[in-house]
Structure formats: structure tokens, C-alpha cells
Amino acid sequence: MGLLERITPNRTALVVVDAQNDFVHPDGKGGLAGRDLKTFPAALAAINRLIGEARQSGVECLFVRVEHGPRVDLPPYRAKYEPRGMYETDTLCHEGSWGAQFIDSLAGPLPDERTFVKHGYDPFSVPDFEATLKDGGYENVMVVGFVTNLCVAATVASAFERGYFVIVPEDCIAASNGVAADVTLATIRDFYGEMVDSAEVINVWQELRAEQDVTDPAPA
């Protein structure tokens, strides 16, 4: 099965993972902690281009973000607070905080697009998320967002294990730990999904729209 079948609009959902201030914005917790965010702006720009093309092609865009804090985190995650330099009153993407919000420069979500809030790495832990994929009859899940070696990787693995074909536009993901990201990309490529460039996806969607315009021209 080629790329065309993997990203056919009516069979594909675009999942945007954790494009949030604490991960992406220079004034977020990651930036203030000195993490290397140099690849993040280019990834966000590529994500925005892909979102725009997805909407034009009729691909549903699903937006996922994470919130943490003692009220919502499970005990194993709370046990990681201290080793990761967090406190119960001050976690990464803390519930209700600016850091937990989508970054303003993200092209979405629009008012009619679905948003899901998770409290761990994997959006499939949110029942409505998988229900939305099933209700849409989707066979393919395209994953973009942050960060490569944690929430992106968890989303990819869970989608694969649930029987979805996974596509990851490599220029639409980023991580501050380059070594961990490289290992994750190799694992995804070898075991979980298809790595592509977003330009390939956009070209296919544009060609499909052009073919549709020829076969179904607008009324005069």
C-alpha cells in the first residue's frame, strides 16, 4: 500500500499532539529550563502548513494537549515530580495554567474542531479520543507535535497497537533531546509507522483536490 492509500482524506485523521506553551514557547517551562528548542519553530510552521492543507482536503484535525497536577496525575507520574524538578503546585503543563494552553501561533483548534485533554503521555487513555477515530471510520492516523520521544512516541505506539496505520511527517515533530529523538525516529520507522516529509503529504492532497475539481467542476 502506497502513501496515497495511507493518507486518503476520508480514511485519515491528523492528530496534533501537545503544541503547548510549556513545550514550545521560549517562556514556557522547557525554554526557561534551558532546553534546546531550536528545532521547534520550524516544526510548528510545518505543522501549521499541514493543518491548512488538511482542512482544505477534508481531513479531520484532532488537537491533544496534556495537563498535570496532583489532582489529575496518577501515582506513578506523581512519583516522577521530584526527580524531574517539579512540585505539586508547579508541574509541567500545570492544570489551568498558561503553560498548559496551546501556543498562540498554532493554527488551531477552530471552534468546530475536537480537542482532547490527557493527563499522561498517551491520548488513547482518553476514551473520547479513540471513540472519535472509530466513529469517523478512520484507518490511518497522522501524528505531529511535541515531543518526539515522549507523547509523540506514545501516540504512535498506541495507534499501531490498536490497528491504525501510522504516518509521521518527520519535519512536523521535535524534541529538545536530539539523541533520544533520533532513537525514537529509528524505532518508529522500523516498527510502527511510515516516516515522510510533510511536503509529500501536501503534494498528494493537492493532487487529489485537483483531480476532484476536474471530475466535479463547480457550477457556472
* pLDDT at residue 219 tops 90: no
Cell of 190: 522500523
What is the set of domains in the chain, with CATH numbers? Answer: 3-215 (3.40.50.850)
Q: pLDDT digit string (tens) for 117-140?
A: 999 999 999 999 999 999 999 999
What's the pLDDT score for residue 85?
86
CA distances in angstroms from 201 to 2, 127, 139, listed in the order given: 12, 28, 16
> How far, in Å, CA of 65 to CA of 125, rounded?
12
DSSP lists the bridge partners of residue 96 as none
What's the pLDDT score for residue 119?
97
Q: pLDDT digit string (tens) for 44-71?
A: 999 999 999 999 999 999 999 999 999 9
Q: Provide the sign of the torsion angle of the four alpha carbons 158, 161, 164, 165, taken in this order.
A: positive
pTM (two decimals) = 0.94
**CA within 13 Å, CB half, 80:** 10
Question: Closest Cα to residue 148, out of 117, 118, 178?
Answer: 178
DSSP of 35-83, one letter per residue?
---TTHHHHHHHHHHHHHHHHHHT-EEEEEEE-BSTTT--HHHHTTTTT
Which residues have CB under 8 Å from 210's CB, separation 6+? none
Helix (H) or strand (E) holding 146: strand 140-146
